[in-house]
Structure 1
C-alpha cells in the first residue's frame, strides 16, 4: 500500500509522541494489545462523533499500527483530499453499490500487511443495524477482525480479542456485538 503519515520518518515519531501525551492529558487509557496478525479488518465502534477519528488516529500511533480507514468520498475533494489519503484514508461513495467489498478484498489479497478500519455502523448517525461490509471483507479475504473500541464513559480505548469469521454472519454478529454491549460512544443515543 501507499506511504502514509504512519510510515513517514520523523513525522511518525513526532505524532506518536504527541498522541501519547494528548491521550494522557485528556485522561484516556489504552487497553489490550496490538493485533498479532499481518492483515486484518479493524472494527471501529462505537462510531458516533467526529472525535472518533482523532482518537482512532492517536491510538493507531500509540499502538504503532499503520491503519487505513474508509471515509465518505466528499472528505477527499479539494485541497484536503491528498492530506486525507496521507492520513490513511480510502474514499468511499456510499451512494453506489460498486463492488467496494471486492475491491477491499482484492487489496488484502495483493498486500503482505494491511489493517483497514471499517466502522460497522457506516455513519456517525444512529442506525438500526450494522452494515455487513466489514464482515464480508474479512471473511472473503480470509483475515480476522480486530475488535477495537473507544469507550467515552470510561475513557478507555484499544483492542479486545481477535475474531475469526465463520461464514455464519448472523451468529457471528451476535458474538461481535456482545463485545460492544457495554461500550459508550461520545453520543450514546446514536449507538445501537
Structure 2
C-alpha cells in the first residue's frame, strides 16, 4: 500500500500531538487501542452518517497511533484533490463497476508490510440505509485478519476501538453480533443509522 500521512516521518508526530490536543479541547473522549498481536485488521467505521466522519476519523487515527487506509467513492479523488486524498490514506472505489474489490483488498492486506488498518463503512453511504454491505466482513475473512469494531458516538463525543471480532464464515450469525454491538452508538445524523 502507498505511503500516507500516517507513515510520513515527522508529519505524523506533529499531527498526532495536534489531533490529541484538538479532540481533548473539544470534549471528545477516546477509548481503546490497536489490537495487540494483530498488526493488520479491518476497522468497521460506524455509524457513518456525515461528511464530518472522515476528518474526525483521521483525528482519532492519529491520536490512537493507527495506520489507516480508508475507502471512498471515486468522485472525491478527482483533480485537484486526488493526490491529497490518497496521501490521507484514501483508496478510490468505483461503485458503478463490478470489480472484485473484496479479493483485491484482501490480497493487498495480506501482502502489505507492517501495520495496516483498513477502514470500511458497512453502510457504504452517508445516506439512510437499512442494509449493511458485507464487503468489510469478506475482506477480513479472506485476508485472515480480525475485524475491529470502531465507533464514533457524536452525542456523547465518544470514539475509539471496541472489541476484536474474528469472522467465522457464518455471516448471518456474525452480523447479528456485530450489529447488536453498534446499537448503542449514534452518528452525527443518527436517524440515518440503523442496525436492523
3-state SS, counterpart of residue 75 of structure 2: helix
Segments of 4+ moved more than 4 angstroms: none
Residue 167 of structure 1: aligned partner: 169
Alignment of structure 1 residues 1-192 onto 2, 5 Å:
1-36=1-36, 37-112=38-113, 113-192=115-194
Tell me whether 34-43 or 67-76 shows the greater mean CA deviation.
34-43
3-state SS, counterpart of residue 85 of structure 1: helix
What RMSD in Å do the two structures reach over aligned CA positions?
A: 0.9
Cα distance in structure 2, aligned partners of 1:139 and 1:111: 16
TM-score (norm 1): 0.97
Cα distance in structure 1, aligned partners of 2:79 and 2:52: 22
3-state SS, counterpart of residue 79 of structure 1: coil
Cα distance in structure 1, aligned partners of 2:68 and 2:111: 16
3-state SS, counterpart of residue 117 of structure 1: strand
Cα distance in structure 1, aligned partners of 2:30 and 2:109: 27
Cα distance in structure 2, aligned partners of 1:86 and 1:184: 29
3-state SS, counterpart of residue 71 of structure 2: strand
Q: Deviations over 1:105-135 (max 9, x none)?
A: 1101212332100000001001111001000
Size of the aligned set, in residue pairs, is 192
3-state SS, counterpart of residue 69 of structure 2: strand
TM-score (norm 2): 0.95
Cα distance in structure 2, aligned partners of 1:96 and 1:158: 33
Cα distance in structure 2, aligned partners of 1:13 and 1:142: 30
- Structure 2: which 5+ runs fail to align? none
- Structure 1: which 5+ runs fail to align? none
Query: Per-residue deviation at 1:98?
Result: 0.6
